[in-house]
Amino acid sequence: MKNRVVITGIGVVAPNGIGVVPFWQALIKGTNCVDTITFFDPAQHPAQVAAEIKNFDYKNYLSHEVARKMDRSSHFAIAAALEAVDDGAFKIKNENRDKIGVVLGSAAGGLGFYEKQMQVFWQGKGQGIDEQTLLATSSGTVSEEVSNLFGFSGPSIIISNGCTSANDAIGMSANFIRSGELDVVFTGGSDACITPGIVGAFCRLGALSTKRNHEPKKASRPFNIDRDGFVISEGSWVLILEKMEHALERGASIYAEVAGYGATCDAYHITKPLPSGEETARAIKMALKEGNVEPEKLSYINAHGTSTELNDKTETLAIKKALGKHAYSVSVSSMKSMIGHAIGAAGAGGVAVCALAIKNDFIPPTINYESPDPECDLDYVWNTGRKKIVEAALGNSIGFGSKNAAVVLTKYKG
Protein backbone atom coordinates (compact mmCIF):
# COMPACT_ATOMS: atom_id res chain seq x y z
CA MET A 1 0.00 0.00 0.00
CA LYS A 2 1.47 3.34 -1.00
CA ASN A 3 1.60 6.28 1.38
CA ARG A 4 -0.91 9.07 0.94
CA VAL A 5 0.40 12.60 0.47
CA VAL A 6 -1.12 15.83 1.79
CA ILE A 7 -0.31 19.53 1.55
CA THR A 8 0.13 21.12 4.98
CA GLY A 9 1.81 24.44 4.34
CA ILE A 10 2.08 27.03 1.58
CA GLY A 11 4.68 29.78 1.32
CA VAL A 12 4.38 32.49 -1.27
CA VAL A 13 6.54 35.25 -2.69
CA ALA A 14 4.52 36.65 -5.55
CA PRO A 15 3.87 39.96 -7.29
CA ASN A 16 0.47 40.17 -5.59
CA GLY A 17 1.58 39.33 -2.10
CA ILE A 18 4.14 37.80 0.20
CA GLY A 19 2.63 35.08 2.35
CA VAL A 20 -0.29 32.84 1.50
CA VAL A 21 -3.02 35.08 2.92
CA PRO A 22 -2.23 38.26 0.97
CA PHE A 23 -1.69 36.12 -2.14
CA TRP A 24 -5.10 34.46 -1.87
CA GLN A 25 -6.89 37.71 -0.98
CA ALA A 26 -5.44 39.39 -4.06
CA LEU A 27 -6.45 36.48 -6.29
CA ILE A 28 -10.03 36.48 -4.97
CA LYS A 29 -10.28 40.19 -5.66
CA GLY A 30 -8.71 39.88 -9.08
CA THR A 31 -5.90 42.33 -8.36
CA ASN A 32 -3.92 43.14 -11.48
CA CYS A 33 -0.16 43.32 -10.85
CA VAL A 34 1.14 43.91 -14.36
CA ASP A 35 2.90 47.19 -14.99
CA THR A 36 5.73 48.83 -16.88
CA ILE A 37 9.17 47.28 -16.16
CA THR A 38 11.11 49.22 -13.54
CA PHE A 39 13.98 46.81 -12.79
CA PHE A 40 15.90 47.98 -15.84
CA ASP A 41 15.38 50.39 -18.69
CA PRO A 42 13.44 48.39 -21.26
CA ALA A 43 13.80 51.00 -24.03
CA GLN A 44 15.35 48.56 -26.52
CA HIS A 45 12.97 45.72 -25.58
CA PRO A 46 9.83 45.28 -27.70
CA ALA A 47 8.04 44.01 -24.54
CA GLN A 48 8.14 46.51 -21.72
CA VAL A 49 5.67 45.14 -19.19
CA ALA A 50 6.05 42.63 -16.37
CA ALA A 51 4.68 41.66 -13.00
CA GLU A 52 7.53 42.55 -10.69
CA ILE A 53 7.72 41.85 -6.97
CA LYS A 54 8.42 45.35 -5.80
CA ASN A 55 8.00 45.03 -2.07
CA PHE A 56 10.31 42.06 -1.50
CA ASP A 57 13.16 42.78 0.87
CA TYR A 58 15.45 39.81 1.34
CA LYS A 59 16.67 41.33 4.59
CA ASN A 60 13.45 40.16 6.19
CA TYR A 61 14.72 36.62 5.69
CA LEU A 62 18.48 36.70 5.26
CA SER A 63 21.54 38.65 6.29
CA HIS A 64 23.12 40.73 3.58
CA GLU A 65 26.34 38.79 4.00
CA VAL A 66 24.60 35.54 3.05
CA ALA A 67 22.23 37.03 0.52
CA ARG A 68 24.88 38.70 -1.63
CA LYS A 69 26.28 35.27 -2.48
CA MET A 70 23.02 34.17 -4.08
CA ASP A 71 20.78 34.98 -6.98
CA ARG A 72 17.37 36.55 -6.39
CA SER A 73 15.77 33.18 -7.20
CA SER A 74 17.45 31.72 -4.09
CA HIS A 75 16.27 34.66 -1.97
CA PHE A 76 12.73 33.98 -3.14
CA ALA A 77 12.93 30.26 -2.43
CA ILE A 78 14.30 30.78 1.07
CA ALA A 79 11.63 33.35 1.86
CA ALA A 80 8.86 31.14 0.49
CA ALA A 81 10.17 28.13 2.43
CA LEU A 82 10.20 30.18 5.65
CA GLU A 83 6.66 31.36 4.89
CA ALA A 84 5.61 27.74 4.35
CA VAL A 85 7.11 26.65 7.68
CA ASP A 86 5.18 29.44 9.32
CA ASP A 87 1.94 28.68 7.51
CA GLY A 88 2.19 24.97 8.18
CA ALA A 89 3.29 25.44 11.80
CA PHE A 90 6.04 23.00 10.87
CA LYS A 91 8.54 22.23 13.60
CA ILE A 92 11.97 21.05 12.53
CA LYS A 93 13.37 18.51 14.90
CA ASN A 94 16.69 16.76 14.75
CA GLU A 95 15.11 13.35 14.46
CA ASN A 96 13.12 14.03 11.30
CA ARG A 97 15.71 15.83 9.19
CA ASP A 98 16.91 12.73 7.36
CA LYS A 99 13.47 12.03 5.95
CA ILE A 100 12.91 15.57 4.66
CA GLY A 101 13.93 16.53 1.15
CA VAL A 102 13.78 19.62 -1.02
CA VAL A 103 12.69 19.34 -4.65
CA LEU A 104 12.19 22.62 -6.44
CA GLY A 105 11.62 23.62 -10.03
CA SER A 106 13.48 26.47 -11.66
CA ALA A 107 13.86 27.23 -15.35
CA ALA A 108 16.66 29.77 -15.07
CA GLY A 109 18.15 29.28 -11.61
CA GLY A 110 20.84 31.87 -11.05
CA LEU A 111 21.08 32.99 -14.67
CA GLY A 112 20.37 36.58 -13.61
CA PHE A 113 23.48 36.55 -11.43
CA TYR A 114 25.53 35.20 -14.31
CA GLU A 115 24.21 37.86 -16.65
CA LYS A 116 25.40 40.65 -14.35
CA GLN A 117 28.80 39.05 -13.95
CA MET A 118 29.13 38.52 -17.68
CA GLN A 119 28.54 42.24 -18.21
CA VAL A 120 31.59 42.88 -16.05
CA PHE A 121 33.44 40.06 -17.75
CA TRP A 122 32.83 41.19 -21.30
CA GLN A 123 33.84 44.69 -20.40
CA GLY A 124 37.32 43.27 -20.07
CA LYS A 125 37.43 42.84 -16.35
CA GLY A 126 37.74 39.07 -16.30
CA GLN A 127 39.43 39.05 -12.93
CA GLY A 128 36.80 41.34 -11.50
CA ILE A 129 33.90 38.93 -11.56
CA ASP A 130 32.48 37.90 -8.24
CA GLU A 131 34.07 34.81 -6.76
CA GLN A 132 30.61 33.52 -5.91
CA THR A 133 29.58 33.53 -9.57
CA LEU A 134 29.78 29.81 -10.19
CA LEU A 135 27.79 28.74 -7.16
CA ALA A 136 25.30 31.59 -7.37
CA THR A 137 24.62 30.77 -11.02
CA SER A 138 24.18 27.04 -10.52
CA SER A 139 20.48 26.17 -10.31
CA GLY A 140 21.40 23.58 -7.72
CA THR A 141 22.17 26.32 -5.25
CA VAL A 142 18.47 27.22 -5.01
CA SER A 143 17.56 23.89 -3.40
CA GLU A 144 20.86 23.63 -1.57
CA GLU A 145 20.25 26.88 0.27
CA VAL A 146 16.77 25.78 1.34
CA SER A 147 18.08 22.40 2.57
CA ASN A 148 20.93 24.15 4.30
CA LEU A 149 18.74 26.73 6.02
CA PHE A 150 16.68 24.10 7.80
CA GLY A 151 19.25 21.33 7.97
CA PHE A 152 17.15 18.94 5.89
CA SER A 153 19.38 16.13 4.78
CA GLY A 154 17.24 14.23 2.29
CA PRO A 155 17.76 14.66 -1.46
CA SER A 156 18.04 18.29 -2.52
CA ILE A 157 17.04 18.48 -6.15
CA ILE A 158 16.39 21.08 -8.83
CA ILE A 159 14.21 20.10 -11.74
CA SER A 160 14.87 22.45 -14.63
CA ASN A 161 12.24 21.59 -17.20
CA GLY A 162 11.34 25.07 -18.39
CA CYS A 163 7.76 26.11 -17.64
CA THR A 164 6.70 22.71 -16.25
CA SER A 165 9.61 22.62 -13.75
CA ALA A 166 7.54 23.18 -10.62
CA ASN A 167 4.72 20.79 -11.49
CA ASP A 168 7.32 18.14 -12.21
CA ALA A 169 9.05 18.90 -8.92
CA ILE A 170 5.75 18.47 -7.08
CA GLY A 171 5.02 15.23 -8.92
CA MET A 172 8.44 13.78 -8.07
CA SER A 173 8.05 14.90 -4.45
CA ALA A 174 4.72 13.13 -4.13
CA ASN A 175 6.33 9.99 -5.52
CA PHE A 176 9.17 10.23 -2.99
CA ILE A 177 6.59 10.19 -0.20
CA ARG A 178 4.36 7.51 -1.76
CA SER A 179 7.28 5.12 -2.11
CA GLY A 180 8.41 5.72 1.48
CA GLU A 181 11.72 7.34 0.51
CA LEU A 182 10.79 10.53 2.41
CA ASP A 183 8.20 11.71 4.97
CA VAL A 184 8.19 15.38 4.04
CA VAL A 185 9.26 17.32 0.96
CA PHE A 186 9.53 21.07 0.60
CA THR A 187 8.60 21.47 -3.03
CA GLY A 188 7.47 24.06 -5.54
CA GLY A 189 9.44 26.45 -7.67
CA SER A 190 11.36 29.68 -7.90
CA ASP A 191 12.43 31.91 -10.76
CA ALA A 192 13.59 35.50 -11.07
CA CYS A 193 13.74 36.18 -14.79
CA ILE A 194 13.02 39.89 -15.09
CA THR A 195 16.49 40.79 -16.31
CA PRO A 196 17.53 42.56 -19.53
CA GLY A 197 18.98 39.35 -20.94
CA ILE A 198 16.17 36.94 -20.14
CA VAL A 199 13.38 39.37 -21.06
CA GLY A 200 15.38 40.15 -24.18
CA ALA A 201 15.67 36.46 -25.02
CA PHE A 202 11.91 35.96 -24.68
CA CYS A 203 11.38 39.06 -26.84
CA ARG A 204 13.61 37.57 -29.54
CA LEU A 205 11.57 34.39 -29.38
CA GLY A 206 8.45 36.46 -29.95
CA ALA A 207 6.72 34.98 -26.92
CA LEU A 208 5.99 38.13 -24.94
CA SER A 209 3.11 40.56 -25.32
CA THR A 210 4.37 43.67 -27.13
CA LYS A 211 1.17 45.41 -28.21
CA ARG A 212 0.09 46.82 -24.89
CA ASN A 213 3.17 48.57 -23.53
CA HIS A 214 0.99 51.67 -23.26
CA GLU A 215 -1.73 49.87 -21.29
CA PRO A 216 0.19 47.29 -19.26
CA LYS A 217 -2.80 46.24 -17.15
CA LYS A 218 -4.40 44.78 -20.28
CA ALA A 219 -1.35 42.95 -21.59
CA SER A 220 -1.94 39.58 -19.93
CA ARG A 221 -5.28 38.47 -21.37
CA PRO A 222 -5.48 34.69 -21.51
CA PHE A 223 -8.18 33.20 -23.74
CA ASN A 224 -9.06 36.55 -25.37
CA ILE A 225 -8.90 36.53 -29.16
CA ASP A 226 -6.62 39.57 -29.26
CA ARG A 227 -3.99 38.11 -26.90
CA ASP A 228 -0.48 38.60 -28.22
CA GLY A 229 1.92 36.86 -25.86
CA PHE A 230 2.69 36.33 -22.21
CA VAL A 231 3.71 38.82 -19.55
CA ILE A 232 6.83 37.83 -17.66
CA SER A 233 6.75 37.59 -13.92
CA GLU A 234 8.76 36.19 -11.00
CA GLY A 235 8.32 34.59 -7.63
CA SER A 236 8.41 31.44 -5.57
CA TRP A 237 5.83 29.11 -4.14
CA VAL A 238 6.91 26.42 -1.70
CA LEU A 239 4.49 23.73 -0.56
CA ILE A 240 5.00 21.35 2.33
CA LEU A 241 4.11 17.88 1.09
CA GLU A 242 3.77 15.42 3.89
CA LYS A 243 3.00 11.77 4.40
CA MET A 244 -0.57 11.69 5.68
CA GLU A 245 0.25 9.88 8.94
CA HIS A 246 3.10 12.29 9.60
CA ALA A 247 0.73 15.24 9.18
CA LEU A 248 -1.99 13.69 11.34
CA GLU A 249 0.46 12.82 14.06
CA ARG A 250 1.58 16.41 14.44
CA GLY A 251 -1.99 17.68 14.15
CA ALA A 252 -1.27 19.66 11.01
CA SER A 253 -3.97 21.52 9.15
CA ILE A 254 -4.43 19.91 5.74
CA TYR A 255 -5.15 21.95 2.62
CA ALA A 256 -5.68 19.06 0.26
CA GLU A 257 -4.42 15.65 -0.78
CA VAL A 258 -2.02 15.22 -3.68
CA ALA A 259 -3.84 12.51 -5.60
CA GLY A 260 -2.10 12.17 -8.94
CA TYR A 261 0.52 13.39 -11.35
CA GLY A 262 1.10 12.95 -15.05
CA ALA A 263 3.99 14.01 -17.28
CA THR A 264 4.42 13.69 -21.03
CA CYS A 265 6.42 15.23 -23.82
CA ASP A 266 5.04 16.36 -27.20
CA ALA A 267 8.38 15.55 -28.84
CA TYR A 268 7.17 17.96 -31.48
CA HIS A 269 8.86 21.35 -31.44
CA ILE A 270 11.13 23.18 -29.05
CA THR A 271 8.71 26.10 -28.67
CA LYS A 272 5.40 25.27 -30.34
CA PRO A 273 2.86 22.93 -28.74
CA LEU A 274 1.64 19.88 -30.61
CA PRO A 275 -1.45 21.33 -32.37
CA SER A 276 -3.65 18.36 -31.48
CA GLY A 277 -3.00 18.88 -27.75
CA GLU A 278 -2.96 15.09 -27.36
CA GLU A 279 0.11 14.88 -25.13
CA THR A 280 -1.18 17.66 -22.88
CA ALA A 281 -4.45 15.73 -22.66
CA ARG A 282 -2.58 12.52 -21.90
CA ALA A 283 -0.76 14.14 -18.97
CA ILE A 284 -4.11 15.33 -17.58
CA LYS A 285 -5.61 11.86 -18.00
CA MET A 286 -2.59 10.20 -16.37
CA ALA A 287 -2.89 12.48 -13.34
CA LEU A 288 -6.65 11.86 -13.00
CA LYS A 289 -6.17 8.13 -13.39
CA GLU A 290 -3.46 7.94 -10.76
CA GLY A 291 -5.66 9.94 -8.41
CA ASN A 292 -8.72 7.76 -9.10
CA VAL A 293 -10.59 10.94 -10.00
CA GLU A 294 -13.29 10.46 -12.63
CA PRO A 295 -13.11 13.36 -15.11
CA GLU A 296 -16.68 14.34 -14.10
CA LYS A 297 -15.52 14.83 -10.52
CA LEU A 298 -13.02 17.52 -11.47
CA SER A 299 -14.31 20.89 -10.24
CA TYR A 300 -11.50 23.23 -11.20
CA ILE A 301 -8.49 23.55 -13.48
CA ASN A 302 -5.81 26.12 -12.80
CA ALA A 303 -4.78 26.50 -16.42
CA HIS A 304 -1.34 27.20 -17.76
CA GLY A 305 -3.21 29.99 -19.65
CA THR A 306 -0.25 32.11 -20.65
CA SER A 307 -2.03 34.44 -23.07
CA THR A 308 0.01 33.30 -26.05
CA GLU A 309 -1.92 32.55 -29.20
CA LEU A 310 -0.93 28.90 -29.38
CA ASN A 311 -0.96 27.96 -25.71
CA ASP A 312 -4.47 29.06 -24.90
CA LYS A 313 -6.17 27.37 -27.81
CA THR A 314 -4.12 24.19 -27.58
CA GLU A 315 -4.69 23.94 -23.84
CA THR A 316 -8.43 24.43 -24.33
CA LEU A 317 -8.43 21.67 -26.93
CA ALA A 318 -6.46 19.40 -24.61
CA ILE A 319 -8.92 19.95 -21.77
CA LYS A 320 -11.74 18.93 -24.11
CA LYS A 321 -9.82 15.85 -25.21
CA ALA A 322 -9.12 14.85 -21.64
CA LEU A 323 -12.51 15.55 -20.10
CA GLY A 324 -14.98 15.14 -22.96
CA LYS A 325 -18.30 16.88 -22.35
CA HIS A 326 -17.33 17.70 -18.79
CA ALA A 327 -14.86 20.25 -20.20
CA TYR A 328 -17.79 22.63 -20.45
CA SER A 329 -18.77 22.15 -16.79
CA VAL A 330 -15.37 22.40 -15.16
CA SER A 331 -14.24 25.89 -14.09
CA VAL A 332 -10.96 26.93 -15.70
CA SER A 333 -9.00 30.02 -14.70
CA SER A 334 -5.57 31.51 -15.26
CA MET A 335 -3.93 33.53 -12.53
CA LYS A 336 -1.43 34.67 -15.15
CA SER A 337 -4.09 37.25 -16.11
CA MET A 338 -3.27 38.94 -12.78
CA ILE A 339 0.34 38.12 -11.97
CA GLY A 340 1.90 37.14 -15.29
CA HIS A 341 4.01 34.07 -15.97
CA ALA A 342 6.67 33.23 -13.39
CA ILE A 343 8.27 30.70 -15.81
CA GLY A 344 9.60 27.66 -13.93
CA ALA A 345 7.87 28.68 -10.68
CA ALA A 346 4.45 29.20 -12.25
CA GLY A 347 3.26 25.61 -11.87
CA ALA A 348 3.82 25.75 -8.12
CA GLY A 349 1.67 28.88 -7.99
CA GLY A 350 -1.00 26.97 -9.90
CA VAL A 351 -0.94 24.01 -7.52
CA ALA A 352 -1.03 26.41 -4.56
CA VAL A 353 -4.14 28.00 -6.04
CA CYS A 354 -5.74 24.55 -6.47
CA ALA A 355 -5.06 23.78 -2.80
CA LEU A 356 -6.53 27.12 -1.73
CA ALA A 357 -9.56 26.70 -4.00
CA ILE A 358 -10.23 23.29 -2.42
CA LYS A 359 -9.78 24.59 1.10
CA ASN A 360 -11.94 27.68 0.58
CA ASP A 361 -14.41 26.30 -1.97
CA PHE A 362 -13.76 29.32 -4.09
CA ILE A 363 -12.52 29.75 -7.66
CA PRO A 364 -10.36 32.78 -8.46
CA PRO A 365 -11.12 34.53 -11.75
CA THR A 366 -9.41 35.06 -15.08
CA ILE A 367 -9.34 38.83 -15.39
CA ASN A 368 -9.08 41.04 -18.48
CA TYR A 369 -11.95 39.41 -20.31
CA GLU A 370 -12.87 41.61 -23.23
CA SER A 371 -12.85 39.74 -26.50
CA PRO A 372 -14.04 36.14 -26.79
CA ASP A 373 -12.14 33.65 -28.91
CA PRO A 374 -14.38 31.02 -30.52
CA GLU A 375 -11.60 28.47 -30.04
CA CYS A 376 -11.49 29.21 -26.32
CA ASP A 377 -15.04 28.41 -25.27
CA LEU A 378 -14.83 26.99 -21.75
CA ASP A 379 -15.92 28.53 -18.45
CA TYR A 380 -12.91 30.69 -17.67
CA VAL A 381 -14.51 32.32 -14.60
CA TRP A 382 -14.30 35.68 -16.27
CA ASN A 383 -13.38 38.73 -14.23
CA THR A 384 -15.07 37.74 -10.94
CA GLY A 385 -14.27 34.76 -8.76
CA ARG A 386 -17.06 32.59 -7.44
CA LYS A 387 -18.02 30.23 -4.69
CA LYS A 388 -18.10 26.59 -5.71
CA ILE A 389 -17.62 23.34 -3.87
CA VAL A 390 -14.22 22.14 -5.09
CA GLU A 391 -13.81 18.39 -4.61
CA ALA A 392 -10.92 17.97 -7.00
CA ALA A 393 -8.68 20.45 -8.80
CA LEU A 394 -5.95 20.13 -11.40
CA GLY A 395 -2.89 22.35 -11.88
CA ASN A 396 -1.82 22.23 -15.50
CA SER A 397 1.42 23.33 -17.04
CA ILE A 398 2.74 23.26 -20.55
CA GLY A 399 6.30 24.17 -21.33
CA PHE A 400 8.59 25.11 -24.14
CA GLY A 401 10.55 22.07 -25.06
CA SER A 402 7.35 20.15 -25.57
CA LYS A 403 6.77 19.27 -21.93
CA ASN A 404 3.44 18.75 -20.16
CA ALA A 405 2.77 18.15 -16.48
CA ALA A 406 -0.46 17.95 -14.50
CA VAL A 407 -1.02 17.61 -10.74
CA VAL A 408 -4.39 16.58 -9.30
CA LEU A 409 -5.44 17.53 -5.78
CA THR A 410 -8.53 16.31 -3.91
CA LYS A 411 -10.34 17.45 -0.81
CA TYR A 412 -8.92 15.63 2.19
CA LYS A 413 -11.59 13.55 3.87
CA GLY A 414 -9.59 11.35 6.18
Q: Which of 54, 92, 205, 371 binds another protein (CB under 8 A)?
A: 205
Enumerate residues 150-189 that contact another protein by CB under 8 A: 151-165, 168, 172, 175-176, 178-179, 181
Amino acid at 329: S
Among 33-41, 73-81, 145-153, 301-309, the segment contacting another protein (CB under 8 A): 145-153
> Residues 365 to 404: which contact another protein by CB under 8 A?
399-403
Q: Is 45 in the site for another protein (CB under 8 A)?
A: yes
Specify which residues 101 forms β-bridges with. 185
Q: Counting contacts by CB under 8 A, is residue 118 touching another protein? A: yes
Contact region with another protein (CB under 8 A), list: 74-82, 194-202, 333-341, 353-361:
194-202
**Contact of 142 with 157, CB cutoff 8 Å:** no
Residue 313, Cβ density class (10 Å: 0-12 exposed, 13-18 middle, ≥19 buried): buried
For residue 193, indicate whether it is catalytic: no
Q: Indicate whether 210 belongs to the interface with another protein (CB under 8 A).
A: no
Q: What is the largest CA-CA distance in the chain?
A: 63
Q: Does 230 bind another protein (CB under 8 A)?
A: no
Catalytic residue among 33, 246, 341, 354: 341
Q: Which of 249, 239, 257, 237 is nearest to 93 (CA)?
A: 249
- Residue in 8, 16, 48, 147 binding another protein, rule: CB under 8 A: 147
Closest approach of another protein to the CB of residue 308, in Å: 13
Told to judge if 75 belongs to the known catalytic residues of this protein, a careful annotator would answer: no
Q: Which of residues 292-351 bind another protein (CB under 8 A)?
A: 344
Q: CB-wise, 102 or 348, nearer to another protein? A: 102
Q: Are 365 and 324 in contact (CB under 8 A)?
A: no
Instruction: Decide: helix, strand or coil at residue 212.
Output: coil
Identify the burial level of 309 via C-beta atoms within 10 angstroms of its C-beta, where 0-12 means exposed, 13-18 middle and 19 or more buried. middle
Q: Which of 33, 246, 304, 354 is catalytic?
A: 304
- DSSP three-state, residue 301: strand
Which residue, 257 or 266, is less far from another protein as judged by CB? 266
Can you tell me which of 39, 121, 369, 382 binds another protein, judged by CB under 8 A? 121
Mapping DSSP onto H, E and C, the string for 340-353 reads: CECHHHHHHHHHHH
From the list 6, 32, 8, the residue with the least C-alpha distance to 20 is 8
Nearer to another protein by C-beta: 37 or 172?
A: 172
Q: CB-based contacts of 377: which residues, under 8 Å, 6+ apart?
A: 316, 328
Residue type for position 324: G
Contact 123, 91 (CB under 8 A): no
Query: Which of the residues 163, 193, 354, 376 is marked catalytic?
Result: 163
Q: Which of 21, 67, 201, 310 binds another protein (CB under 8 A)?
A: 201
Nearer to another protein, 258 or 381 (CB): 258
Least distance between another protein and beta carbon 241 (Å): 15
Q: How far apart are CA 162 and CA 150, in angstroms?
A: 27
Report how far residue 37's alpha carbon sits from residue 383's, in angstroms, rounded to the nearest whole number: 24
Contact 231, 219 (CB under 8 A): yes
Nearest to 111 by CA among 89, 133, 137: 137
Q: Could you say which residues in the range 255-274 bind another protein, by CB under 8 A? A: 263-271
| Total residues binding another protein (CB under 8 A) | 83
341 flagged as catalytic: yes
Which residues in the 277-296 window bind another protein by CB under 8 A?
A: 279, 282
Residue 111 binds to another protein (criterion: CB under 8 A) = yes
87/257 with CB nearer another protein = 257
Known catalytic residues are 163, 304, 341
